[in-house]
Amino acid sequence: MSAGNDDFMVFSGTANLPLAEKVATYLGRPLNKIDIKHFPDGETFCQVIDGVRGKDVFVIQSGSPAPNEAYMELFIIIDALKRGSAARITAVLPYYGYARQDRKDQPRVPITARLIANLLEAAGADRVMTLDLHANQIQGFFDIPLDHLKAEPIILKYIRDQHWSNPIIVAPDTGGAKTAYGYSRKLGCGLAIVAKQRTGGDTVDAFSVVGDVKDHDVIMIDDMTATGGTLSAAAKMCRDSGAKTVHAFVSHFPLTEKGMERLMGEAQLDELVVTDTIPLRAGFDPLKLPFKLTQLSVAPLIAEAIKRTHVDESINDLFNHE
């Protein structure tokens, strides 16, 4: 939708207002006004204060914390914008909640990631923008355009700025091997993989490291951690194999109570680096962790993607630089 720069508007739900405000700052404009209320019986109401007729509209809402409430709020906002005659509505989901429910791996289970896609379209979204999907096939669940952003440029810059003497990229499981290989190629360092076996929803038994991590600065790359099981098991295996330091990087941090306990007591990390696609869990104090927690912001990336979408410029160019 090529138009003047003043013809787009940015609204936010309540799931991650601090990130939305950062995005607005990078765009050089305040968030547009919307009144969102939650009634005592649990119902959600919203009224879009600023006129949207004929406008290119972006709505920022993460699918966590409280994904059910976050999505319902987003659907209601989209419906209000549609009824206000917005020309185009882009749902910006820094974190796509329910992304782990992307396949029918047991009898009589839903594919909730697909259901969310259907509901976004039914609510009236014309386009979706999200970041580091847990499963790439989710892009195929949509019949409307989807822009899949990556936190990779932000994470790569941070890693390069550390100047670790002997780095090696480690995939904490075989599913992340392709992503880990991309990082190792761009950083010009080695690659190792931790083979794991998950024995329960929040229990992981790591059993081998494929590759030599002895005396290396381990850089583990994963898309998310909720219970901390995969990261804790992989970090222990790397330590047992002689790693000098262990640094874990995750795009999304939907931390559970169990994950908070595990990170406090079990994770043999030197540093955990997360982004701000999801607010830090309420009651979680990073200063109490036995390792360093660093939070990087994806706001500049989302802001640039919004600008490029509005003027019909390529978003892929943001990720083509080594």
**Residue 264: per-residue pLDDT:** 86
- Amino acid symbol at 233: A
In this predicted structure, what is the pLDDT of residue 201?
Answer: 59
Contacts of 294 (CB under 8 A, 6+ apart): 158, 271, 272, 273, 274
| pLDDT higher than 90, residue 250 | yes
State whether 262 and 273 are in the same domain. yes
In this prediction, residue 230 has a pLDDT band, given cuts at 50, 70 and 90, of: confident
Domain span at residue 61? 5-150+300-319
| Rounded mean pLDDT, 233-254 | 95
**Residue 170 and residue 307 in one domain:** no
Mean pLDDT of the chain: 93
Do residues 39 and 125 both lie within one domain? yes
Active-site position among 196, 214, 258, 292: 196
Which pLDDT value is given to residue 317?
86
Percentage of the chain beyond pLDDT 70 is 94
89 with 10, same domain? yes
170 and 281, same domain (yes or no): yes
pLDDT at 8: 96
Average pLDDT of the residues in 270-297: 94
- How confident is the model at residue 318, as a pLDDT? 87
Q: What pTM does this model have?
A: 0.94
Confidence of residue 173 (pLDDT cuts 50, 70, 90): confident
Domains of the chain: total:
2
pLDDT single digits (tens) 93-143: 999 999 999 999 899 999 999 999 999 999 999 999 999 999 999 999 999
**Domain containing 39 — which CATH number?**
3.40.50.2020
Q: Are residues 266 and 281 in the same domain?
A: yes
Residues 246 and 305 occupy one common structural domain: no
17: tokens are 């207002």
Domain co-membership, 9 together with 98: yes
> Is the pLDDT score of 206 beyond 60?
no
Least confident of 64-68, 199-203, 264-268: 199-203
Is 260 within 8 Å of 281 (Cβ atoms)? yes
Q: Is 196 a catalytic residue?
A: yes
- Do both 37 and 119 map to the same domain? yes
**Same domain, yes or no: 44 and 96:** yes
Based on the fold, state whether residues 73 and 105 are members of the same structural domain.
yes
Q: What is the pLDDT of residue 263?
A: 87
End-to-end, the C-alpha distance of the chain in Å comes to: 29
| Same domain as 91, residue 225 | no
Taking 70 as the threshold, does the pLDDT of residue 212 lie above it? yes
